[in-house]
Amino acid sequence: MKKTIFILIIVSAACCPQSMKAQEAVLKSQRDSLQAMYYEALTLLDSLAGKNMDLSKELEKCNVQLSVLKKDVNRLSKEKNETAGALTSAKKIIADQNTTINKLEAEIKRLSQPKKQ
């Protein structure tokens, strides 16, 4: 009986290091996979941050353009001796403003839609 128990202890001791090595290999593989996923997420985040910054700069340019056009329309509308040329110029500026606003609205609508994978 003592011999049987002794043999079982030796056999189980011999088997355990292999199963521990297998578990370590599985854990290392899972850790490596998680690390790769983390780096992919960081790359995507950096990409999106860069795109967001570019869009913010573009939006700022459009806002500056709209401010300039608004000042021109206000200046033209305050002139007492409005000529036909001034009125035509004001109409053109307003049309440009509307075009810019429509483009911005379309871009906002496009960016607001969920991204298709």
pLDDT digits (tens, 9 = 90+) for 19-54: 777 788 888 888 888 899 989 888 888 888 888 888
Question: In angstroms, rounded to a whole number, what is the distance separating the alpha carbons of residues 17 and 68?
Answer: 76
Residue 59 has pLDDT above 70, yes or no: yes
Range scoring the smallest mean pLDDT among 28-37, 54-63, 108-117? 108-117
Q: pTM above the 0.85 mark?
A: no
The pLDDT of residue 11: 57
- Residue 17 pLDDT: 60
**pLDDT for the residue numbered 85:** 74
pLDDT band at 55 (very low <50, low <70, confident <90, very high): confident
User: Is the per-residue pLDDT at 96 higher than 70?
Assistant: yes
Contact 97, 70 (CB under 8 A): yes
Can you give the residue ranges of every domain in the chain? 26-112
Would you say residue 103 has pLDDT above 70? yes
pLDDT recorded at residue 3: 63
